[in-house]
Amino acid sequence: MTIQDIFDFALRLTPKPLRPLLLALGPDFLRFGLVGAAGFFVDLCGLTLIVRFAGWSAFQVHLFGAALTLTLQMQARFLSFPIAVAATWALNRNWTFKSDTERALHREVSSYVAVQLLGGVANLGAYNLMLILVPASQSLLILPLAFGSAIGLCLTYVGSKYWAFRTPN
């Protein structure tokens, strides 16, 4: 079964009003989502290992007169996230947008990192917002991680497809 077969199956299951949107996204979005799932797994494993074994303590930072406590779970994400970005760059370059990787490597990497930084701000922001607004989520990290990842996925797909991995003119 190919990605195109899975895409066609998903298209048949999609309600008719939403089909034009799915057609516009195309099979690349499915590949990108699968790569994102792999990145999510890398992020989750890294996050879990850091939280379990790092032995870090929470500390306060002061921003614009407000105090914010950076918990171990928040700190760990700042390390696990870049590891996941490196993994998804390699997978997206070699699978999702393979036919479009004609740009110079340094331009592609810098564009991808810029896209990921913007998506990462949204991702980490949503993750931390959930940790703050739903304190119980600190004991079930997969929930804020999934929330942040979903927000980041939407933003980084557009940036990756139309900027980082675009075919040069």
In tens, the pLDDT along 5-53 reads 988 998 899 889 888 988 888 888 889 999 989 998 999 999 999 999 9
What pLDDT sits at residue 101? 53
Find the mean pLDDT for residues 123-134: 92
More confident residue, 90 or 63: 90
> Is 19 a member of any domain?
no
Residue 167 confidence (pLDDT)? 74
Structure tokens at 119: 């998506």
For residue 118, give its domain range. 26-164
Task: Assess if residue 139 is contained within a domain.
Answer: yes
Q: Is the pLDDT of residue 100 over 70?
A: no
Residue 99 lies in a domain: yes
Q: Considering the domain boundaries, does residue 7 fall inside one?
A: no
Residue 108 lies in a domain: yes
Whether 132 is in a domain gets the answer: yes
Residue bearing the bigger pLDDT, 169 or 97: 97
Strand 59-63 and strand 66-70: pairing?
Answer: antiparallel
Confidence class for position 120, pLDDT limits 50, 70, 90? confident
Task: Flag whether 17 is in a domain.
Answer: no
Give the whole-angstrom CA distance, residue 56 versus residue 76: 9
Q: Does the pLDDT at position 111 exceed 60?
A: yes
Indicate if the pLDDT at residue 99 is higher than 70.
Answer: no
Residue 25 main-chain phi, psi, to 5 deg: -70, -40
Domain assignment of residue 16, yes or no: no
- The CA distance from 137 to 17, in Å, is 35
pLDDT band at 135 (very low <50, low <70, confident <90, very high): very high
Predicted pLDDT of residue 168: 66
Name the strand (E) or helix (H) holding 60. Answer: strand 59-63
Number of domains comprising the chain: 1
pLDDT over 90 percentage in the chain: 40
